[in-house]
Each structure stands twice: as C-alpha cells, then as structure tokens.
A = this chain, B = another copy of it.
Amino acid sequence: MLGTGGGGDVRTGALAAKRAIQAYGEVPLVALAELPDDALVVPLSGIGAPTVSQEMIHGEDEPRRIAEEVERIFGRPPSAVMSSEIGGSNGVAPVAWAAQLGLPLLDADGMGRAFPEVQMVSMYVAGLPADLVIMSDIVGNVVTIRPIDGLWSERLARAVCVAAGSHALMADYVLTAAGARGAVIEGTVSRAIAIGRSTERTAEPLRALRAELGAVRLITGKLTDVERRTAGGFVRGTATIDGTGDDRDRVLTLELQNENLVALEDGQVKAMVPDLITVVDTETAAAVPTEGLRYGQRVTVLAWPCDPLWRTPKGLDTAGPRAFGYDLDYVPIEELAKEESGG
C-alpha cells in the first residue's frame, strides 16, 4: 500500500472511520455519474512505510489542510473524497477523511487493489497528466508538488514523506468529475463492502470469500519465515508458507514490497503483479497485511485477476513485474491456474 491512513492495517483504518462517523456523521457514497462535470474529486491516501505508520498517531487536521490547499489552487472547495487505493487501510481511512470534511465518498478508486508506488494509479495509466500532488503531514506542513510526470511525482513525494517521518496524507491528482470518467476504477467501494459482507454470517468464510472474488487458492499452510526490512520508505522482504493438510510437502514464497508482488513455488511463478495476491487467515478469511505477517500464522494465499486496465501495455509498464525489477513476462492468473490444473 502507499501507506496507511488511519494508521496500520485495515482494522485501525476501520476504527478511525467508525470514530469519525460518530463524531461527524455518516458518509454518503456517490457514483461518479451523480457528480456534475466540474465537481472536484480529491483522491486521498496515506503514504509511508506500513511498519512506521503503525506507530504514528494520525491527526484530524491533514484532510482539512489539503482541502484548503485545493480551494486555494482551484478557487472552489472539493466535492468528494476518493480512495486512491481500495486495498489496506487506504481503502477504509478515506471514510474518516470524508467524514471529517463533511464530503461524500466516491464509489471508485485509483487502483482496484493496493500498490506501493505513487504513480501506480489508474489516472496515470489513463494518460491524465500527473501534474499535482498535495501532501500534509502530522506536524502541519503542506507540500504541493507540480511534477513533470508520474515518476517524478513518486520520487519527490517519497522524499517529502521520508523527511516528514515516513508518513503523510496525500492528494495525488485533483480530478474534475469530467476528467475522472474513464480514469478511475468505478464501483470498488461497493465491491469492497460486498466482499466484506460475503465472509459474515457464514460457517465457511474462506469458501465464501473465494467464491465472491473468483480467486485461485495458491496454498493453505503455516507461515514459517518472514524477512522484512524498511528501506527508502518501503518495506521489502519475503514470506515463506509451508503447506499443511492437502498442501503438505509444498512451499510457497512471497516477494514483498509493501504488497505481495510474486508468488513462487519450486522456482515457478504461481501468481504475479498486477494480479492480486492476498494472504488471509485460514479460519476467519480476514486479510493479513504484509506488516501483519507473523511466524506460525495459519494462512491461505489467494490470487485473483486485477482490473483489465492493469493488463494493457501501459498498465503493465506501470505496475507489471518488470516495474518492480522482476525479469518476468506477465502471465494472467487465469492462465497460470490453467497450466497448473493441466500439468
């Protein structure tokens, strides 16, 4: 994830959202089609290394300072908040930020998943110029970046983030509703709610979750090794899962950079970015974020298809395996799974 907004994993984000709703009232969900063309949508996300963000207390002034800067620049206030990435805490914390600002939340996001780098958003892939980033940190600094492109956006935002204590709130792009059409991934907040509900009130949450996601099960087992280091504002590392039950004698390794990027077994790639690879608790089907991985956890690794946008040439250039330094040609999870059952 870009970082963590409410602080840490999705549960602390959810707690922040609940508290903000209690304090400021409910947050309406709006569809992009409901907004007038010139309405301003502010995509917000926390940026930072998750292991650092967990330790940070998140203030309530950051969204307000960003909204003030938006109004200063555009001459009118924002009309809606959008989650930059629907995965992890950044998928839930925008509810808190919207509540604090008294704004609706757009039923859309910029990833349809989580990604570690600033330029890895649908707006960039759709060709919108990455020409404005507004950052607000906990001490009250506001930094506005007008980058020449998405890569410089990432480079400068990351430097500011590290200088600000490896955590900041960020508006990456400020979109008009007209500009957002076709450049954001719509319906992802509703989908996240549906996914969450699928695991409630069922005796078999994992089965229900797989069905809702259309996910391939890569392995069920026990976490036997987790190696992590924080470097340059990212958490990088590997996680090893030893199979149990039907999967005994199998070993799956995950390559991490804030997110799970590649799943390997016996040197063979089983799933890779931009498809989604998620570690869930085998019993509850609750997602285990990379910073929550611990020795001995009983987990299942699921993989499922990303939004078609990420499978376009520019999508793969932006967030395919090579964008993360892996010398791999992208093969969709559906085909990898087919080879598996065929072989």
**Residue positions of A touching B, CB distance < 8 A:** 69, 72-73, 139-148, 152, 155-156, 158-160, 162-164
24 chain-A/chain-B pairs, Cβ below 8 angstroms: A72-B73, A139-B148, A139-B152, A140-B148, A141-B147, A141-B148, A141-B152, A142-B145, A143-B143, A143-B145, A143-B156, A143-B160, A144-B144, A144-B145, A155-B163, A156-B160, A156-B163, A156-B164, A158-B163, A159-B159, A159-B160, A159-B162, A159-B163, A160-B160
Q: What are the 9 A-B residue pairs with the smallest beta carbon separation, nearest first? A: A159-B163, A144-B144, A142-B146, A140-B148, A159-B159, A143-B145, A141-B147, A141-B152, A155-B163
A72 and B69 alpha carbons, distance in the complex (Å): 12
A147 and B135 alpha carbons, distance in the complex (Å): 11
Q: How far is the CB of A173 from chain B (nearest CB, A)?
A: 15
Residues of B with C-beta under 8 A to A163: 155-156, 158-159
Q: How far is the CB of A68 from chain B (nearest CB, A)?
A: 10
Residues of B with C-beta under 8 A to A141: 145-148, 152, 156
Residues of B with C-beta under 8 A to A160: 143, 156, 159-160
Q: Which of A72, A145, A163 has the most CB of B within 10 A?
A: A163
Residues of B with C-beta under 8 A to A159: 159-160, 162-163
- From A145, which residue of chain B is reached at the shortest CB distance? B143
A159 and B162 alpha carbons, distance in the complex (Å): 8
Q: How far is the CB of A94 from chain B (nearest CB, A)?
A: 23
Q: How far is the CB of A74 from chain B (nearest CB, A)?
A: 11
A55 and B143 alpha carbons, distance in the complex (Å): 28
Residues of B with C-beta under 8 A to A142: 145-146
A144 and B143 alpha carbons, distance in the complex (Å): 6
A141 and B152 alpha carbons, distance in the complex (Å): 8
